[in-house]
Structure 1
Amino acid sequence: MKVEQAAGTADGIKIVTTGGVSEFLPAVESKVADALLPVRLTRAELSGEIGRRIDDLIYKNYMVIDLERNFLDPFRQRPPTDGRRYIGIGKVIDAGSRFAAYTNDPEVQKRTVWLIDELMKTRDPDGYLGHMKALPDGRQNYRNWILHDQEYAILGLVNHWRYCGDKRSLEYARQLGDYVLKTVPKNEHPEEVCTAGLPEAVLALYAETGDRRYLRFAADTRHGSKGEIACSSLRDWEQTFENRSQSHVYVMLARCYSQTLLYRFEPDDRLLKMSRFMLGELVKKDGGLLVIGSGSDGEHFAYTQNGKGAVSESCVTAYLIRWLDSLMRLEGDLRYGDLMERAVFNALFAAQDPAGRNIRYFTPFDGPRVYFHLDGFCCPGNLRRIVSELPEMIYYHTPDNGLAINLFTPSEKTVALGDGLQATIRQETDYPTSGHVKLTVSPSQEAEFPLRLRIPRWCPKVAVSINGSLPQIVSPGGKYHEIRRKWKSGDAVTLDMPMPWRFVRGRKLQDGKAALLRGPIVYCIGTAQNAELLKTVINPSDLILDPASLGEPVGDSSVRPQGLKVAAKAKIPANKDQKEQTVDVVLTEFVDPNGIATYFRITDSSQAVEDELVGKQQTQ
């Protein structure tokens, strides 16, 4: 797609500017043109629940975590370790780089630069960067988790260059990348080392430098811990999920994602084979996708639909969203956004403390949830990273100089469409509280171009009106709904997406039960709103809810601004000690940190429906 923007150079590097946001063009262009190109929003352009969550993570987490003690000191001191220690400093740099660009806040920018500068001071003369004492010939890189920290440090440094334009960071990334290329191929047992982010990081380095050594390394080097994934090169990787010890979902999704990146540089349909397989295993009728939009059990792929304990790892949620976005950009199919928003508004945001400070490693939907005790390690870092990426998952350029809308959230953005044309698009909505969305389109001059809208599959029918005209009724199921017309300044498109209650039928361990949803939001029983009831009901999943008793939702700001809850009637089954009782119960949005139960029996099982996201391949 041709997009005309203000252009310039800095030290030979091409720069483009759109709407006041400078972007540094990669040195290598993809051989496969994406069907959707993300539009980057800044803090001034994004609000609503997504904007609030990003702000909380920046100012109540990133800006207050102890970078000295928890991230830098291990690299400075290199204490003795048993090889099982992982810090995660590269993920902090990665998220911080995006946060700096998103906020344009000098304090956020300064903090990220300081972290990079202090980390670079810990390097050895030969380029080694790590929290373990160096061994001859770089053999410390053969142990977990030294290489894992290095790979995400490379990625974070590359993205600091991409988002903040600091050329030093790109040079730091190149130096660390060269150290990795020098040491990793010597390891005779690559199956012993975690390498989840290795190909992703080195491909990013290739994209920004054009150095084909990085491309060859990312594509052809065998890697992968035998306790997580089949050891293979990125180009040749194929496996099934029968061997649970080699079905670590985070690592597999990271590799699927990296294969989509490699595909853009070296188109080969075999590189998308595992993505198609993974997607099929997630969304088939008895697949691994959980109702809250994530999918893992004990960090591994599972078909059981277990909701207790170590399920819905935040790393999995993060890479699932990132990988789905990559597939959506490749194919132009906005139906991937249905899966993305289920994950974002449930598993992802429920893993973030409503107060903003704490992060969960796992987010079960059955039983109590706890916050992780560390700010480092993998899950807090990956959650920060994916939340920092959300501003680029809302609007997209289309190849025919149009716009596509994936996520609904209050926002306003001026976008260059090509041939000197710009258009400002504004979303006014309280989504996901309601399904009412008003889009105002204001081109710099009257012009014809397409506007593509995601029509969520949870909505039976959407009423789409232009400038107050008689609404067109649009059914879900297509890749997108396109409005192609000659636009003039102030044209308004209104979407009314009814959000009826629906009970989604449980599968496997949840068979015979159902989960309550409204729009993209899953509801649960929490301890705070049901304190008296839970004095007598030990297991709230045993309650039998009456679908006919559900009324309209009412406001509940205890969990989030504009949040909702609903009251219902439920039966406590009879047992040897008591007769059947009818009780009142309150269900809150799944992000309720006190949530302990999501699936229930219902009085009329015919009221339950299949989950609209499962039972068929995404593109069918």
Structure 2
Amino acid sequence: MSQQRSSVLSLKGVRIQDPFWSEYIRLVRDVVVPYQWDALNDRVPGAEPSRAIRNFKIAAGEETGEFYGMVFQDSDVAKWLEAVGYLLQTEPDPDLEQVADAVIDLIAKAQREDGYVNTYYLLKEPGREWTNLSECHELYTAGHLIEGAVAYYQATGKRKILDAVCRLADHIDSVFGPEPDKIRGYDGHQEIELALVKLYHATGEARYLRLSRFFLDERGREPHFYDREYERRGRTNHWGSDFMITKRSYSQAHAPIREQESAEGHSVRLVYMCAAMADIAAETGDEGLLEACRRLWKSIVTRRMYVTGGIGSMAQEESFTLDYDLPSDTAYAETCASIGLIFFAQRMLNIEPDSRYADVMERALYNTVLGGMSKDGRHFFYVNPLELWPDACGKNHAYDHVKPVRQGWFGCACCPPNVARLLASLGQYLYTVKDRSVNAHLYVGGEADIEVGGQRIRFKQQSELPWEGRVRFELEVESESDFTLALRIPEWSGAAVIRLNGELYDAETANGYALIRRWWKSGDQVELVLPMDVLRIKGHPLLRDTVGKTALQRGPLVYCLEEADNGKNLQGLFLPSRSEAISEFDPNTLGGVQVIRMDAQRLSEKDWGEELYRRDADTSFEPAALTFVPYYAWANRGVGEMAVWVKEKA
């Protein structure tokens, strides 16, 4: 029996019209997706080549040549197609649709008669399909193609790509399963599992749901699949090392998923897996699986997550390490990992509406995900540190993964198309409906058509976030309707003020939501005022990197210091514990952002001399006036130092 879950809105029923977010949606539509199309076709000067489209052309017989890129190069095309699908769901674009149709024709032409499609194996290792799942991302790549196909089908109703991925899924189903003549295994990088659930929803074909659950249930069981596969392959490996095979926690294959106690290994794989676990728990009512989701969620957000919503602290293996190990300067915090955390949060929110999940979803979205893309939409961060000393980059190899500026493209280009597909689908994260309750999770202006009890309700939202905490709703109903509007009260807010049709309303609260139960009529208005004080955030005492330091947050935004405003040697700044914070909108900084100004002290270098160390040295300070800017906007003004955490002084 399935878990009763909330319904996610169709993008066709959501129109974002927001002073902050509309510019990002426009940027994705007008700049990011076209730019990424150019990158996929190797038309971005100075950027690493992709050749992803060319691989498909070669596989389709339209060009000659050899495969180029990573084993998962196809997934960049699939994620681009998914972003296009979401954009077309919100606004018609015949020219973009025509480009996508040509890509779909190319994919279908490259697809083998039995449904298999993967340009790496079609071109480079034909006949060795499904022999190296632990390392080579075959099912991962298939999963992204399925997600792209479903999004495009939902946008256009065109079945060509949907039929193609159904043939692919049917082929996978014929290869994998518990039967003696099938492979009893799973991919090293989770993705197919959540994609199959989407395909199940699009087609109603229960086999796809069962196959998704099979892949999850097999993971980590003994005798171990990776060992059996490795032996059959003659103990060869793809990456020049067997760590993906032997270090099973790297891909969360160290134990059956229901027995896993903490967030381990590659961070993107972990949260993709958790998203699929939550999907299957919701569809099947599997309480053991849901409890495992709750346990892994708690491990991430209470012991292994940065204040920015970044996860995965170590560059080696792009992974989690141990509880409370969250260094700022060597942080990995891959953009894709925060996007996966948002996927996980949304699914948990759909199962059990609790503001804890929406708070993390918001934190990751406003800080790490937005920070992963430049304001011009053409440059991207793969890694999102919380402190930068650019002079050390390229000299101290501990920082080899850290880039002082966003890059035009990557050899492993998973993050740029991931950002595009998330922002293009933002409308799916704002509201959910369960029974006769509408939950508002994120405050983003626009209109949403929501069906409650068989009746269509139009919600018109005006939001001043992230700069001010004022939100206003106006409702249009076909006839008077009784339901509950549940408004999230964010963790960063103080006591919220609610007005219903201009009158103060004392709302009951549950699980972090203010509940307004009534018979609604057209023209009803709800105003929500969320206090947005500047908060001094402290880390847990066991967080070694933040002891004696503070970070600033206002509303959903975490702030940072940049050299552009505060000069060099940010490590010498101390924020007095009683220093007053002045928040103001500055139209001349970073295109217009809310800045925070505070008086501070800077450790003086006067009279120090040339000694590296000095006995009984006097510590003297000079006054300093600090300007903090939103973390998401850093590194848009050239190369310079940056710090989120600042030393605090009594």
The change in CA–CA distance for 1:212 and 1:422 in structure 2 (over 3 A counts) is: closer
The total of aligned residue pairs comes to: 559
TM-score norm. by structure 2 comes to 0.79
Q: Is residue 475 of structure 2 the alignment partner of residue 494 of structure 1?
A: no
Q: Is residue 166 of structure 2 the alignment partner of residue 174 of structure 1?
A: yes
- Partner of residue 277 from structure 1, selected from 259, 284, 295: 295
SS in 2 for 1:121: helix
Q: Is the contact between residue 252 and residue 270 of structure 2 (CA under 8 Å) also seen in structure 1?
A: no
SS in 2 for 1:442: strand
The change in CA–CA distance for 1:174 and 1:323 in structure 2 (over 3 A counts) is: same
TM-score norm. by structure 1 comes to 0.83
Partner of 1:294: 310
Residue identity in the other structure for 1:324: A
Partner of 2:576: 546
Q: Is the contact between residue 16 and residue 427 of structure 2 (CA under 8 Å) also seen in structure 1?
A: no
Partner of 2:41: 68
CA distance in 1, matches of 2:260, 2:503: 53
Q: Is the contact between residue 188 and residue 251 of structure 2 (CA under 8 Å) also seen in structure 1?
A: no
Q: Is the contact between residue 439 and residue 486 of structure 2 (CA under 8 Å) also seen in structure 1?
A: yes
Deviations 1:17-45 (A, max 9, x none): xxxxxxxxxxxxx8333135435366744
Aligned-residue offset at 1:550: 3.4
- Partner of residue 445 from structure 1, selected from 479, 504, 511: 479
Unaligned runs of at least 5 residues, structure 2: 43-49, 60-65, 221-243, 391-403, 610-618, 636-640
- Partner of residue 484 from structure 1, selected from 502, 512, 517: 517
Partner of 2:21: 50
- Partner of residue 40 from structure 1, selected from 11, 15, 23: 11
CA distance in 1, matches of 2:189, 2:630: 36
Q: Is residue 367 of structure 2 the alignment partner of residue 346 of structure 1?
A: yes
Q: How does 1:302-451 map to 2 (within 5 A)?
A: 302=321, 303-367=324-388, 369-374=404-409, 377-400=413-436, 402-419=437-454, 421-451=455-485
Q: Is the contact between residue 36 and residue 330 of structure 1 (CA under 8 Å) also seen in structure 2?
A: no
- Partner of residue 626 from structure 2, selected from 578, 585, 594: 585
Aligned-residue offset at 1:471: 5.5
Residue identity in the other structure for 1:254: Y
Partner of 1:98: 86
The change in CA–CA distance for 1:149 and 1:475 in structure 2 (over 3 A counts) is: same
SS in 2 for 1:358: coil
SS in 2 for 1:276: helix
CA distance in 2, matches of 1:425, 1:204: 26
Aligned-residue offset at 1:197: 0.7
Partner of 1:86: 73
SS in 2 for 1:336: helix
The change in CA–CA distance for 1:414 and 1:236 in structure 2 (over 3 A counts) is: closer
SS in 2 for 1:136: coil
Q: How does 1:150-299 map to 2 (within 5 A)?
A: 150-183=142-175, 194-221=188-215, 222=218, 226=245, 227=247, 228-231=250-253, 236-241=257-262, 247-284=265-302, 287-297=303-313, 298=315, 299=318
Q: Is residue 144 of structure 2 the alignment partner of residue 114 of structure 1?
A: no
CA distance in 1, matches of 2:319, 2:510: 31
Residue identity in the other structure for 1:33: Q
CA distance in 2, matches of 1:513, 1:174: 53
Q: Is the contact between residue 526 and residue 587 of structure 1 (CA under 8 Å) also seen in structure 2?
A: yes
CA distance in 2, matches of 1:83, 1:582: 52
SS in 1 for 2:526: strand
Aligned-residue offset at 1:477: 7.5
Aligned-residue offset at 1:300: 0.9
Q: How does 1:517-556 map to 2 (within 5 A)?
A: 517-530=553-566, 533-534=567-568, 538=569, 540-556=570-586
Q: Is the contact between residue 333 and residue 479 of structure 1 (CA under 8 Å) also seen in structure 2?
A: yes
CA distance in 1, matches of 2:41, 2:644: 40
Residue identity in the other structure for 2:282: R
The change in CA–CA distance for 1:42 and 1:55 in structure 2 (over 3 A counts) is: farther
Aligned-residue offset at 1:571: 1.2
Aligned-residue offset at 1:268: 1.2
The change in CA–CA distance for 1:551 and 1:190 in structure 2 (over 3 A counts) is: same
CA distance in 1, matches of 2:69, 2:28: 32
| Aligned-pair identity (%) | 22
CA distance in 1, matches of 2:70, 2:538: 44
Aligned-residue offset at 1:358: 2.0
Aligned-residue offset at 1:476: 7.8
Deviations 1:494-535 (A, max 9, x none): 1111111111113321111010111111110113223xx22x
CA distance in 1, matches of 2:105, 2:405: 34
The change in CA–CA distance for 1:238 and 1:55 in structure 2 (over 3 A counts) is: farther
Q: Is the contact between residue 430 and residue 440 of structure 2 (CA under 8 Å) also seen in structure 1?
A: yes
Q: Is the contact between residue 176 and residue 183 of structure 2 (CA under 8 Å) also seen in structure 1?
A: no
The change in CA–CA distance for 1:446 and 1:218 in structure 2 (over 3 A counts) is: closer
CA distance in 1, matches of 2:70, 2:592: 46
Aligned-residue offset at 1:354: 1.0
Residue identity in the other structure for 1:453: L
The change in CA–CA distance for 1:189 and 1:398 in structure 2 (over 3 A counts) is: closer
- Partner of residue 595 from structure 2, selected from 537, 560, 565: 565
Residue identity in the other structure for 1:108: L
Deviations 1:203-244 (A, max 9, x none): 3233333444433332224458545323389x85532448xx
Q: Is the contact between residue 72 and residue 136 of structure 2 (CA under 8 Å) also seen in structure 1?
A: yes
CA distance in 2, matches of 1:418, 1:77: 52
Aligned-residue offset at 1:415: 2.7
Residue identity in the other structure for 1:101: Q
RMSD of the alignment, in Å? 2.9
The change in CA–CA distance for 1:320 and 1:139 in structure 2 (over 3 A counts) is: closer
Q: Is the contact between residue 14 and residue 447 of structure 2 (CA under 8 Å) also seen in structure 1?
A: no
Aligned-residue offset at 1:329: 0.8
